[in-house]
Structure 1
Amino acid sequence: MFILNGITISSILFFISLLGMFLNQKNILIMLMSLEMIFLAVSFNLIYSSIYLDDINGQIFALFILTVAAAESSIGLAILVIYYRIRNTITVELMHLMKG
C-alpha cells in the first residue's frame, strides 16, 4: 500500500508540473520552477520504487538527478539574471534575440 501512495503523489506532482510548463510559456522563471518540480517528481518515484524493491540503486539515481537539477537551476538562474539586466524583462518571446 505504501508504494501506491508514493507513486500516486509522484505522478500527481509530475502532471501538475507538466501543466505548469505548458500553461505558462511566457514566464521563464515559472518554466524553470516547473522543470525542477519534474526532477523532484522523478526522484520521488525512484526513491519510492527503491524502497518497495529493497534496492539502493533508485536512491543513488535520485541523488544524481537532484545534483544535476541543482546545477541546472543555478546556471539557469544566472542566465536569467543577466538577461534581465540587459532587457529588463524575462519573457520567453524575446529570448531568440540572444546571440552568443
Structure 2
Amino acid sequence: MIAFSINLAFILVTVAILAFIFNRGKDLITLVIALELILLSIGILLVSLSFHLDDLVGSTLTLYLLPLAGAESAIALALLVSYYPIRGTLVLK
C-alpha cells in the first residue's frame, strides 16, 4: 500500500515539474494546475506515511495543507480572471 502511494506521489511531482519545464512560464493556468499537483502529492505522501507509521501528525498536517491549497488556487484563479480583461490573453509574452 505504501509503495503505491509513494509511486503515485512521485509520478504526480514528476508530471508537475515537467509541466513547469515545458510550459516555460507562458500559460498561467498550467502553472497553477502544476502547483496544485505538487501540493496534492505532498498530501498523499503525508497521509500514507502517517498511516504506515501509525501516527496522526501527517494526517493533521494534511488537514491544514488542503485548505491552504484550495485558498491558493482560489486566489490564483481570481487573479487570472482579473488579469484576462486587461491583457486579453492568459499567455505571458
User: If the TM-score is normalised by the length of the shorter chain, which range does it land in?
Assistant: over 0.9
Aligned residues: 92
Residue 44 (structure 1) aligned with residue 12 (structure 2):
no
Query: 1:63 matched to which residue of 2?
Result: 63
Q: Give the whole-Å Cα distance in 2 for the aligned partners of 1:14 and 1:83.
A: 27
Q: Give the whole-Å Cα distance in 1 for the aligned partners of 2:12 and 2:27.
A: 20
In structure 2, give the amino acid aligned to 1:16: V
- Decide which moves more: 9-18 or 33-42: 9-18
In structure 1, give the amino acid aligned to 2:39: F
1:6: Cα distance to partner?
1.0
Gaps of 5+ in 2: none
Stretches (4+) displaced over 3 A: none
In structure 1, give the amino acid aligned to 2:21: F
1:70: Cα distance to partner?
0.5
Residue 73 (structure 1) aligned with residue 73 (structure 2):
yes
1:44: Cα distance to partner?
0.2
Residue 29 (structure 1) aligned with residue 29 (structure 2):
yes
1:2-39 per-residue CA deviation (whole Å, 9 max, x = no partner) reads 11111111111111111111211210001000100000
Query: 1:86 matched to which residue of 2?
Result: 86
TM-score, normalised relative to structure 1: 0.87
Percent sequence identity is 36
Larger Rg: 1
**Aligned-residue RMSD, C-alpha:** 0.9
TM-score, normalised relative to structure 2: 0.94
Gaps of 5+ in 1: 94-100
Higher RCO structure (Cα 8 Å, ≥6 apart) = 2
